[in-house]
Structure 1
Amino acid sequence: MKTKFSALLLFFSSFFYAQQSQTCDTPENEPALDLNSITKCTIEKSNDKKKNKKVSFQVTSRRRIRRKKDLVKGVNNNFSKKISEVKKKTQIVNSLTLEGTNVSNAISFFNVDEIPLFESCEDVAIMKQNKCFKSKITEHIKNNFQYPNSSYNKGIQGRVLVNFVIDKEGNSKITNTLFPYKGEELRDEANRIVNKLPKFIPGKQSGVKVNVQYTLKIMFDIPGVKKTNIRKKVNTIDLDEVYTFDELERTPTFKECFSNFDDSFDCFANELKKHVIKNFAYPVDALDNNIEGIVYVSFIINSEGDVVNIKAKGPKDGEVLEIAAKKLVEKLPKLKAGYRDYKRVNTKYQFPIEFSLEDE
């Protein structure tokens, strides 16, 4: 079966379509994310020993600097599209680091003085090296892409974002991968493709070799086939009784905590922290318009363990931040419900997310 591809570079990403691959459409009301920022979060524990300790998250980024648009032609067998790359490096400032990954000193691909190069691009004129890089990475995708059979047969489609760093030795190291609902096989395929990238000529900043961060966006699409992996939205529902964490005998838990027989608040907080790191980044629209502030998010974990009744309240003109925060909570997995009087009950939880911009 022949697979057709198209490639687009959008923001910090290379955007690929496999026509017998899948596509994950971003909802119209979902804000774009700054993919070359690394989200960090902090956990603030209250001094008391109650179970309703608060979890606080902070997302910090550099203010956006607008640059002259660089028009790039997307590649397809039958057509081409023009899109612009107009992104600015962002940097998260916080005390936490991603587990097992040290990319705090990585520079954005579109901000580094000398970009990493495929060996075949080394002798290309400097002004054409960017184009050569995109061409070679597109070729690499075409030559290595294999649609997972099981996902293809089930109609599982979606967008996969692979964030990776090309280090000072020219090796590619994946930092994290975002993938659609039920898209684990798509994630594995995208990671496999990135792991097969050849060794690069390292990028340089002021003549010194540096780590360079890049985001690869791969769209899996099966033309004519309806996507089956659509998460059902849970509407606001009426609940008779709702409790807070400190009113329960056993608090709601993530499956990882349940598997480790750990129903402590610390485990809940740590898993929530991991979810934020894995799924969130500063909204691009907020960067463009210098929007920052605190968003208070509340939700209910019902007696079945589903996350429902999600609400967000942010600063004035901060709707884009509210939408981003709600989308983050919507992606929470099914949890184990909390217990009161030996029965599963509905539990309400609220936490703040602070969006902060720093000057260069």
Structure 2
Amino acid sequence: MTPELAYFLKINVAIALFYAFYRLFFYKDTFFHWRRAALLCFFAISLLYPLLNIQGWVKAHEPMVAMADLYATIILPEQTITPQQEPTMNWQELIILFMKIIYWSGVLVLTTRFLVQLGSIIRLHILCPKSTIQGVRVHLLKKEYGPFSFFHWIFIHPQSHTESEIGEIITHEETHARQHHSVDVLISELMCTFCWFNPFIWLMKREVRGNLEYMADHRVLETGHDSKSYQYHLLGLAHHKAAANLSNSFNVLPLKNRIKMMNKRRTKEIGRTKYLMFLPLAALLMIVSNIEMVARTTEKFAKEVMGQATAQVVAPEPEIATLPELPAEEIQKITAPQDKKIKEVSETQSKSVPDSIVFQVVEEMPDFPGGMQALMEYLSKNVKYPAEAHSAGIQGRVIVSFTVKKDGSIADTKIVRSVAPSLDKEAERVISTMPKWKPGKQRGEVVNVKFTVPVMFRLTGPETPKAEEIKQSDLEEVVVVGYGPKEDSTPDAAGVKTDNEETTFKVVETMPKFPGGTKGLMQYLARSIKYPVIAQEKKQQGKVIIQMVIGQDGSISNVKVLRSVSPALDTEAMRVVSNMPKWEPGLQRGQAVAVEYTLPITFRLQ
């Protein structure tokens, strides 16, 4: 659904609700001027409330955010993307096209009708002779049409009325002219033109026209004219043909309602307070509209981030920071241990997405057989510290990138960050000889996924080196580090002591998880991050790397900036991370432990 269509549907929903509200509370009272104001407010609010942006307020209240997430999950349709698919016209598109043709045909017919009626009034204004009757300037109709007015133009056929009847007509039409009732008529006509398929807009138009006549009738009786003779006069004009419908006609139907309203007892003044009741309804409509916009924005953001890596992800609004493609050396995806065997990929799945497309972010990331712990063990047992580098005291981190193919095989291995030729060669050798992985999936189909693994070579003296220093920016890729010149080195989770003696791990068997997983984390960032105004003015953008500790209870602590961009962006990134809800804590040997986590957040100006 496009934003324009959503806006249009919201207008029509509001009109239906306001009409029901009007009939329930205002229909039978005699506060005609208040009713006029309420009807005009209904039109104005229906047009404006979808445009009022209070998304910031909605995002600041958890119940509203929960409703937005529920709307995005249940109501918004899923859209699938098939790469390199030729555009085709299906039956749904044909139905939509047919409905558009019908709608615009109706608009064209009603617009033509509106212009014809307006032209007929202008023509009468030009052709009819002018005269002054009872001190009022009027246009003299040449045929026996019913009297009417349009703004300050009053049209009457004097020969059809007695002197007293002319006085009633002049008073009636002067009320229309003096109070600018033609504005209400034009607004209701235009609303009917563009919302003609909505039956409630026609009912609302009838209420507008009827209320204007109630006001004019009330004014006639206030000036001293006899009520009974005036009502007989109206009945006598019922058979008169109207010269134009786009006007305030003296004998507009239904006369029965007008006569009943003239004889009705005046409503007590205290009843005016009920006109304030529509304000909560207007506020509710605005809140619901913004919840829908927040849900649509969040869903769009999540779909873009979960989409193809070849398409850059940008914020749906200028003030929201995005999570675009992340450098391999800084991002990792840590998954829970998995003991499932690699499944064979059918040829039909392999052909669904072209081999030329390589993803960096997919819904289901590839996994090493046995999970992260198995990958650590593999690297620890297979990485051999080159004698040349060992004797020369060379150490450091080698970054290796590769592609996990659809069948789980490793291809396109290359060095992203070099330390020394001997270490580079060893790291590339170990990665190239890895067994087949469980392939990644995007929308249920196996795809090629690019991966990056940093391998740390560190001289640790006579001790058996351990696997350590795995960072956890688990948004795109699995990143693990293998160390050690000895083949029999056994990996274990690396932990350090914090100031409060709580062991903080950098890698554990089951890594911490944001409520709702990766998608939930992206949705939280999409609705929480506000692009600082000062950073927008200075055109500051870039990647802020945040480090934090996720405690045993899932709480966030020790938030700090590892890579700074600017004070404003650093502060905003730290604020959002610090306000995160509790995570599912990491587990080591079945016990919850504190885990150090790294999260890159990219601010990009659109």
- TM-score of the alignment, normalized to the shorter chain, above 0.5: no
TM-score, length basis structure 1: 0.36
Q: 1 or 2, which has the higher strand percentage?
A: 1
TM-score, normalised relative to structure 2: 0.23
Q: Which has the larger radius of gyration?
A: 2
Q: Larger % of helix: which?
A: 2
